[in-house]
C-alpha cells in the first residue's frame, strides 16, 4: 500500500502540468473584472484565488473535494461504534481527493499518534499567560511558540529545491494537526476546569482523544468529529483561510501561517460569531428572567440589536445565499439526539431560525438573511457541558486547521506565488469613475 505521502506526491506530479499549462498557455484568459465597489468592499466576489480542496457554491454550500457534507459523512470510514467518520480519514481526503480505505485511515491515525507529543515549553508558555487571556490568544500563541520545530524553516535554511517545498510543509502540517487537539483541550481544562489537564489516551482516534482530554463522555467524541469536519474548509477567500494562505505565500512556515489564520478566525465577523451567538441568546434569556420566550419578544430583541447598529450573530454570509448546510447538519444532529431535540436552548435557536430571516429581510441590508454555521454550533457544545462560550472559536480553529493546512501544503506543491495584489488611491478611483 502506498503511504499518504507517496499518494500525495503522485497527485502533485499529476497536477503540476495542469497549473503550469494554464499559466503558460492561457495566462491572459480573463475570469472576471473588478469594480470600484469590490475594491472598496472587501474584494467580495473577486476571483483571484485557486484551491481544489473545497468549493463554496452560493446556493448549495460547501463541497469538500467535490462532495457535499452528507456525502462526505457517508463516504468516509467510521470509527467503530460511532456514527461519524475518523477526522484522520477526512484529512486524507482533503489532501489527496481520494476516500481512504480503512488501512489508509489507520496509517494517518498512527502517524498522528507518533507526532502528537506537545513540547513541554508550549504548556509553560500557556501557563505564563494571565488566566483571563482569551483562549484564542492562548491557542494562537501556543501554535506560534512551536515555530522552532518547523521542518520547513530548517530545510529552507539548508537550501532545499522549490520542487520539494511541499514535503517539509506536509511534515509541519501533519505535526500541527496531531498536536492541536491536546493544546486546545489543555487550554480548556487549565482555564475553566480548575487547572486539571487530562493526558491523551494513545489508544484513541483524534475525535475520541479530544473528547477524552476535554473530560466529556460519549457521544461528545462524535460531536468532536462532526464539528471538526464541518468547520474544516470553506474555500480560500474567508479570513482564516486567506490569511493562512497569504502568510504562507511569503514562504513563512505552517506555524507562522496557522497562528496568523487563527488570529483572523478570532474576529467577531468570522469565527468568533459562534461565541457571540451564545452571548446574544444568553443575554436575551436573562432579560426574560426564566420566562419562555415568545416569537414577538424574540422579534423585538432582534430589532433592538439591529437598531443599536449591531449585527445579528450567526446570520448572513459573504458568499452563501441560503441556509448554510453546516448549520443544517448540526440542526439535524440536534433533532436526532434525544434530549437535545427538546433542549430549551435548541428550541430558542430554532425559534430564531423561524424569526430572524424575516426580520433581516425587512431590515433590507444583509444580502443573505439565512443562518450560517455559527448560529447552531454553540447549542450542541452547551448541551454537552461546554458552557464557556469564549472557548467555542478554539474548537472552530482545530477544525479550520484541517482545511487551511491542506491548502498550504498544496500551495507549496504547485508553487503558488507570493501574494501581492495591487492597490490604488481614492484619486485613481475618482478618475476611473470620471468624476475627477
* Residue 137 CB burial class (10 angstroms; 0-12, 13-18, ≥19): middle
CA dihedral defined by 115, 117, 121, 125, rounded to 10 degrees? 90
Question: 168 or 314: whose CB is closer to ligand CMX?
Answer: 314
Distance, CA of 59 to chain centre:
20
Answer yes or no whether residue 271 interacts with ligand CMX by CB under 6 A: yes
Instruction: Provide the terminal-to-terminal Cα distance of the chain, rounded to the nearest Å.
Output: 66
Q: Pick the catalytic residue: 205, 233, 374, 411?
A: 374
Answer yes or no whether residue 273 interacts with ligand CMX by CB under 6 A: yes
Answer yes or no whether residue 374 interacts with ligand CMX by CB under 6 A: yes
CB 222 within 8 A of CB 84: yes
Please list every residue from 351 through 370 that binds ligand CMX, using CB under 6 A: 365-368
Distance CA 178, CA 111 (A): 8
Least distance CB 364 / ligand CMX (angstroms) = 9
- Segment lying near ligand CMX (by CB under 6 A), choices 138-146, 168-176, 307-315, 330-338: 307-315
C-beta atoms surrounding 168 within 10 Å: 21
- Segment lying near ligand CMX (by CB under 6 A), choices 90-98, 189-197, 264-272, 376-384: 264-272
231 carries an active-site annotation:
no
Please list every residue from 43 through 72 that binds ligand CMX, using CB under 6 A: 44
Answer yes or no whether residue 304 interacts with ligand CMX by CB under 6 A: no
270 carries an active-site annotation:
yes
C-beta atoms surrounding 169 within 10 Å: 27
From 155, 179, 317, 412, residue interacting with ligand CMX (rule: CB under 6 A): 317
DSSP readout, 280-330?
HHHHHHHHHTTPPPPHHHHHHHHHHHHHTT---TTB--SS--S--HHHHHH
Answer yes or no whether residue 269 interacts with ligand CMX by CB under 6 A: yes
- Among the residues of 146-253, which ranges form H helices? 151-158, 166-192, 206-214, 220-230, 239-249
212 carries an active-site annotation:
no
- Segment lying near ligand CMX (by CB under 6 A), choices 154-162, 207-215, 220-228, 311-319: 311-319
For β-strands 54-57 and 61-64, DSSP reports them as antiparallel
Answer yes or no whether residue 163 interacts with ligand CMX by CB under 6 A: no
From 207, 316, 325, 378, residue interacting with ligand CMX (rule: CB under 6 A): 316
- Coil, strand or helix at 235: coil
Q: Pick the catalytic residue: 270, 283, 342, 390?
A: 270
Q: Pick the catalytic residue: 212, 234, 317, 324?
A: 317
Question: 238 or 259: whose CB is closer to ligand CMX?
Answer: 238
Of 106, 342, 152, 161, nearest in space to 255 by CA: 152
From 257, 281, 323, 372, residue interacting with ligand CMX (rule: CB under 6 A): 372
Give the footprint of ligand CMX on this chain (CB under 6 A). Answer: 44, 238, 269-271, 273, 306, 311-318, 365-368, 372-374
Residues with catalytic annotation? 270, 317, 374
Amino acid at each position: 500500500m502506498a503511504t499518504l505521502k507517496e499518494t500525495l506526491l503522485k497527485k502533485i506530479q499529476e497536477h503540476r502540468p495542469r497549473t503550469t499549462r494554464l499559466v503558460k498557455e492561457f495566462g491572459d484568459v480573463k475570469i472576471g473584472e473588478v469594480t470600484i465597489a469590490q475594491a472598496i468592499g472587501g474584494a467580495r466576489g473577486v476571483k483571484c484565488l485557486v484551491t481544489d480542496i473545497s468549493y463554496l457554491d452560493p446556493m448549495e454550500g460547501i463541497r469538500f473535494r467535490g462532495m457535499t457534507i452528507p456525502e462526505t459523512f457517508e463516504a468516509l470510514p467510521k470509527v467503530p461504534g460511532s456514527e461519524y467518520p475518523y477526522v484522520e480519514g477526512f484529512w486524507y481526503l482533503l489532501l489527496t481527493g481520494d476516500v481512504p480505505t480503512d488501512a489508509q485511515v489507520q496509517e494517518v491515525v498512527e502517524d498522528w499518534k507518533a507526532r502528537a507529543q506537545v513540547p513541554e515549553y508550549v504548556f509553560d508558555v500557556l501557563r505564563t499567560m494571565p488566566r483571563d487571556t482569551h483562549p484564542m490568544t492562548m491557542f494562537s500563541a501556543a501554535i506560534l511558540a512551536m515555530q522552532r520545530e518547523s521542518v520547513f524553516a530548517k530545510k529552507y535554511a539548508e537550501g532545499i529545491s522549490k520542487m520539494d517545498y511541499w514535503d517539509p510543509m506536509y511534515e509541519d502540517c501533519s505535526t500541527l494537526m496531531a498536536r492541536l487537539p491536546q493544546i486546545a483541550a489543555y487550554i480548556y481544562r487549565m482555564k475553566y476546569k480548575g487547572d486539571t489537564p487530562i493526558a491523551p489516551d494513545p489508544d484513541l482516534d483524534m475525535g475520541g482523544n479530544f473528547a477524552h482530554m476535554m473530560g466529556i463522555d460519549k457521544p461528545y467524541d462524535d460531536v468532536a468529529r462532526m464539528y471538526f469536519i464541518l468547520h474544516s474548509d470553506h474555500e480560500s477567500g474567508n479570513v482564516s483561510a486567506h490569511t493562512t494562505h497569504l502568510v504562507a505565500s511569503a514562504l513563512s512556515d505552517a506555524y507562522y501561517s496557522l497562528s496568523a489564520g487563527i488570529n483572523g478566525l478570532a474576529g467577531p465577523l468570522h469565527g468568533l460569531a459562534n461565541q457571540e451567538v451564545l452571548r446574544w441568546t444568553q443575554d436575551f434569556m436573562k432579560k426574560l428572567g426564566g420566562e419562555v420566550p415568545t416569537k414577538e419578544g424574540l422579534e423585538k430583541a432582534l430589532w433592538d440589536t439591529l437598531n443599536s447598529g449591531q449585527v445579528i450573530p450567526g446570520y448572513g454570509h459573504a458568499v452563501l445565499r441560503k441556509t448554510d448546510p453546516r448549520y443544517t447538519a448540526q440542526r439535524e444532529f440536534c433533532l436526532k439526539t434525544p434530549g437535545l431535540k427538546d433542549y430549551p436552548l435548541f428550541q430558542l435557536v430554532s425559534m430564531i431560525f423561524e424569526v430572524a430571516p424575516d426580520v433581516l429581510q425587512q431590515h433590507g441590508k444583509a444580502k443573505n438573511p439565512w443562518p450560517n454555521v455559527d448560529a447552531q454550533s454553540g447549542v450542541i457544545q452547551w448541551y454537552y457541558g461546554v458552557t464557556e462560550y469564549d472557548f467555542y472559536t478554539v474548537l472552530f480553529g482545530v477544525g479550520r486547521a484541517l482545511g487551511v493546512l491542506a491548502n498550504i501544503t498544496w500551495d507549496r506543491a504547485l508553487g503558488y506565488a507570493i501574494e501581492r495584489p495591487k492597490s490604488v488611491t481614492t484619486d485613481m478611483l475618482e478618475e476611473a469613475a470620471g468624476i475627477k
